[in-house]
Structures are given as structure tokens and as C-alpha cells.
A and B are shown apart, each in its own frame.
Chain A
């Protein structure tokens, strides 16, 4: 699917800015992020800790704590700006039309209610079913996500389930109201690889069945490659690159994306020495002037230090925010030549 698809997007985020007012100063966690999500696709958001990927998703659902404020921007869902809705209108969207699953299912589930009670709560609230009907639906959902003996499990507490089973229960809860968008914030990061493979397969299979869109937030480029149709790469509160998954991995057009790809040891390629992006992620209170990546970028020039590069289309459907794509391209060409030789 191309970035500039003719279809109307189901969700449109326009120039979102979410700031946190802390005692030490203003943290610009998300600073001018725009993207759209189309029906039935998976949009991957990738970046390191503190890049703003989770805050972006929390902003969509307006789940920020009292220090966080959405400064400006629009979040258009099916023609409505979610930022202008009242709290009670928002509650009808949350969990019903846009659902979310979190990284740590143990902390996201309430330990003093059974799995069944927690799934039924959303069903009764949003769909107005009776308790018995809701229970039947909850059991059906648990069966769908591959939990064995759902009639028994529905009355168990979260601590009685393993990590993988808890994540399945979370997915059952999120999908019980048949949402059109599922936001998955690092859904497999806390799980073992064999369990991660199970959960990713389940999500793909359920997406086919329900036709929902998924926003997949992760730090793992492997998960991104496997799950996404399009990818947003974030760094220090900004989108630095945006492309279809194949295009991104084939022709990375931002030095950060390229560095990230080279930093991961891979099972299928042998490296003598890993590439390491120098330095560390800048402090969110004092992001550097100009391009925020310039302090760690090997192609940086004076222009990068003073002027912020805009996110522009560099090839059809491929957006990047970099002043020196030509320099990057020649470096990539040299590297690819070395690999094939």
C-alpha cells in the first residue's frame, strides 16, 4: 500500500504536539507528528526509548497523566476530531472503536478481578448486553485467542495465567467490542521469543478475521519487518522517516534508520564488528537545535546544526527529514557493494 493512497484514512494525526510540564522544565515528548492509518493495514512505529512512540499512542486515546498536555494538532477519527470530544463521548470511542494492548499484561490487568469480569465490563458498557450474554461472548473471545479451556479460565485471576496467556487475554479484551483500530504498544517485549512468535501469529490471524487496522509500536525492527505494511521511524519526538516496509528496509533514507538497521546483530548475516551509532539519545528537556539527530550523525554539517530539516517526500510514498540524503545514499551504496563482494 502506498503512502499516498487514494483511500480516505480511518485515522489521521495532524501535527500532534504533546508536552509534559515537569518540575525541571517542558518535555516535548511528541513535537509535530503527522501520519494516517488506513483500513485493514498495520502501521509500525519504531524508535528507541523516549522517542515519543508511546506518548503518540496515548495521545490518540487521550490517556495522558495530569502533567501531559496536548498542545496542538488534530486527531481525526472517522471525520471527528478526538481532541474536541467531551470526556463522555471519548469514553464511547476508547475500548470500543479504538482499543489498546500494553506491554506488561500483569500491570495492565486488574489483579483483584477475574479475567472474565474484566472482559465483560467492556462488553456490557459498550454493547449493552446482559451479564449472561456478555459472559458467553467473553468465553468465545478467549477461545478465539487460543486460551485452552476458556470456560474454566474465564473465572481465573490474572496471576493464575502465564505471561503469554495474559497477553492473549488482553487481546481478547481489546477485540471483544470489535474495534476498528487496535493500538499495540510493545505487545511482545516482555515475552519469550517462542511465545512472541505465537502472539504475533495470533494478531495477524485476528486482523484478517476482523479486518481492523493495527498500530504496532515497538523498538524491535524484526517485529516491524514481520508485521507492518508501512513504518514510521521516530527519534526525539519527531518522525524522521516514513515509508512502506519494503521500501524502508531496501532504501533507508535517514541516517538514523540506517544506523539502527546496522546496529542489530542478525541471524542471517555475519558481522565482524557491529556498527554503533555514537553518543546517546539527547535529554528530552534539551533537544539539540536544528536536526535533533545531528549530534550523533556522521553526515552532519553546519546546516544540520542550525536548521531543522522538514519531513518531505523524497521518492514516491517515501518521506524523510534529512538535509543530506545524497551523502547517506552513497554510504549505503558503498556498504551494499562490500556486502555483495
Chain B
């Protein structure tokens, strides 16, 4: 999106987000290993923009979406929504205390007053709350998060919604469309009467290009594209700020896919939505995004404004990914980088840079040290020691 928006505080900030899943085995179901699905990810999403998140299967892109919505509790890291730390509402209650201690209280206790200015923005706000509002009382600080936790959680869920990939399994086959969409209205008590609820459902159905009469029908009566419209209507009826679209068009045929992409762009303008658009398909990502983050094995390897990323990708993985996509033009001749081997398992990711076993330009340092995600050009961050060498 435009530069002016970029300078504002981000709508959503993700800091060092980690999500590990345990693997259990044996009769006692002991934890034998961890799947490191997301392993320390930082990014921001600004209001009104579309951030595309692209990567191959198993890279952790869906896990990020699910974690942001509180569908999986994060293992570590923080999520800020308009500057407010929402991690306590994503975690189960019994973990909130240790989270707050780890993230804030222990840091603040060792803090001199003049160091406060140097804290990152997110922490600074809470340092002020901690020292000024709560007079450095850890118990009061923690209680302020625990009070009305359920209500705050619910309010947050209204602001963040998701559209799933598979329009066949994400709609309950025994519910009428009107109830699938209207359920959220009931949960959040947004309608004072049955008629008002009906009207809300009818309005949103029209907005996504369906007839209001469809409210009485069941999911099996609809095609894939229509079902995806229903999924979008269900997400939008709460008037959310942020919509996570998790492979929202991947299951659709080409001719239907472009209809849904256009619809999502129209709705974004009309409702001032912010999208986190997750997809494995770089050409779809290129079409819809303002900025793009490329993931590989639980890490962001490159994040940049769309134009920059597609004109000059700097990470060798981004370069190979782009060159791997078949271009629908037989006259188009290009040099192709074909990667060797498969994506390694996230249970036991390679040492150093996770891409080094498949990287065409890997050197000795790559297997030893992990490259940090650094700004190489304005707005373009890359995690590679030799960024730009392949572009």
C-alpha cells in the first residue's frame, strides 16, 4: 500500500512467534520430539494492506494464521493488535502469568529509568503502564490482564476472522446457510431480534454475490465457488478488521478463482479490510498482495513490498521459487533454478541457515550460523549471508 500508511503504527505486530507441536509416542504418550512449525517469526501488518504469506507445504504459514487467531496457543513470542498485547488472550489462562513475567516484569525489574526510552515501541508502552499506572506492582499488572479476560477475548475474536481453504469441509453440512453465517451474530449478541438477524444475513449474502433466499439452503446445494463466498460472508458479518485468508482460493477452478479474488479485493475496499493472505501460489500472491513474506521451514526468509520482491528477489529460495513456476506462454524462455532434494523435516531442521542443504550458493558459514532477517534495501528484509547474489 502507499507509503503514508507504512509509517503509522502497524495494526498487527508479531514478535518472535514460536509454535512447536509435541510428538507423543509409547503407552505413556511421552513427548519424544517437537515439530518446529513456526520458529521465531517477526512481521507487521499495516491497516488496509494485504500481506501475502507464501511458502511450500509444511513451512508453517497456516500455523501462523491459526496462532494469530488463537486457534493454537503460541509456544513463545508476542502478538500486538493496534499496539495492545493480545498474547494473554491467545494463551490458556494458566500460562498468562508466566508469559507476562517472562516478557515484561523480569525485564522491567532490571531496567534503569533512562533505559526506558531505548525499548522497542511495544515494550515501552507496557513499561509505562507498569511503572506509572501500577507503580511497579507485578500483581496489579498481571491482574489488569486477567480482569474481564473472557470479554476481551471475545471482542478480539470479532476483530479477527478467518476464511479457510476447503469450502467442502469448513461448512457444517447439517446447518442451513443462514445459521452458518448467523451463528456469529448470536454468539456476539449483535442482533436484538430475529428479523434484524435475518436482515444482517441477507445483507452480507448480497455483498458476497449470493441471493438472500440462499439462507434457507444447505451447503451441499452449492458449488465450490459459492461455498467459498459463504465462508467469506461468515467471516465478514462481524465486521472484522483483519481477515486471515488461508489458501482461500487454492481449491477452486481457474475461472472461479479469479471471481473470488476480485470479490475479495472489492470487499477489502468497501469494508476497509486488512488481509493476511496465505497461499502456496506465488502468482496469486503477486496479484493480491501489497507486501509479501516468503517462508521456509518455520522462518521468514524474505519480506518486502511486492514490487521489489518480484523485480529483484534477494534470497536464493525466493529466486528458485519464482523460477520454478511454469509461465503460461510457450514463447517465454527463462533460465530455471531447479532445487535439489526435498524440503527437510521441521522436526529436525538443518543447522545454520535452514535452506543451506538445497541452496545453490551455500558456503561453509551457512551450515554453521543462522543468518538474521536484516533490512538489505528499503523495506526489503532478507535472511541470507549472500543476499542478492543469485538475482
Contact = CB atoms under 8 A, between A and B. Distances in A.
Interface of A: 48-49, 162, 164-165, 192-198, 200-201, 219-226, 245-246, 249-250, 259-261, 263-268, 271, 273-278, 280-281, 296
B338 A198 contact: yes
A259 B287 contact: no
B254 A225 contact: no
B179 to A, nearest CB: 24
Nearest to A224: B328
B253 interface: yes
B254 A264 contact: yes
Nearest to A273: B262
15 contacts: A192-B56, A193-B282, A194-B56, A194-B320, A196-B326, A197-B326, A197-B336, A222-B327, A246-B331, A260-B254, A263-B255, A265-B284, A267-B282, A267-B325, A275-B258
A193 B325 contact: yes
B226 A280 contact: yes
B261 A246 contact: no
B256 interface: yes
A223 B280 CA distance: 16
B62 to A, nearest CB: 14
Nearest to B223: A280
B267 interface: no
A214 to B, nearest CB: 15
B330 interface: yes
Interface in B216-263: 223, 225-226, 253-259, 261-262
B283 A267 contact: yes
Nearest to B56: A192
A165 B341 CA distance: 9
Interface of B: 56-57, 223, 225-226, 253-259, 261-262, 265, 280, 282-284, 286-288, 310, 320-332, 336, 338-339, 342-343
A274 B287 contact: yes
B327 A225 contact: yes
A267 B327 contact: yes
Nearest to B285: A265
Contacts of B261: 265, 274
Contacts of A196: 324, 326
Contacts of A268: 327, 329, 332
Q: Which one of B261, B329, B336 has the greatest number of beta carbons of chain A within 10 Å?
A: B329
A271 B326 CA distance: 18
Nearest to A49: B253
Contacts of B254: 48, 219, 221, 260, 263-264
Contacts of B322: 267
B117 to A, nearest CB: 43
Contact of B259 (A265, A267, A276, A281): A276
B262 to A, nearest CB: 6
B280 A192 contact: yes
B328 A266 contact: yes
A193 B280 contact: yes
Given A197-B338, A266-B328, 4 more contacts: A222-B327, A222-B328, A263-B254, A268-B332
Q: Which 9 A-B pairs have the closest CB atoms?
A: A222-B326, A265-B287, A192-B56, A221-B328, A197-B324, A277-B255, A48-B253, A274-B258, A263-B258
B321 A193 contact: yes
Contacts of A49: 253
Contacts of A224: 328
A261 B331 contact: no
B328 A164 contact: no
Contacts of B223: 280-281
Given A246-B331, A259-B255, A268-B332, A273 B265 contact: yes
Contact of A280 (B57, B225, B321, B323): B225
Contact of A276 (B262, B288, B339): B262
Contact of A274 (B262, B280, B328, B331): B262
Contacts of B256: 280
A226 B326 contact: yes
B302 to A, nearest CB: 15
Contacts of B326: 196-197, 200, 220, 222-223, 225-226
Nearest to A231: B330
Nearest to B58: A192
B57 A192 contact: yes
A31 B256 CA distance: 23
A50 to B, nearest CB: 9
B257 to A, nearest CB: 7
B287 A271 contact: yes
A292 to B, nearest CB: 14
Contacts of B259: 276-278
Nearest to B55: A192
Contacts of A259: 255
Contacts of B339: 194, 197-198
B343 A192 contact: yes
B275 to A, nearest CB: 15
Given A194-B56, A259-B255, A266 B327 contact: yes
Given A194-B320, A274-B262, A48 B327 contact: no
Contact of B286 (A222, A265, A278): A265
B133 to A, nearest CB: 48
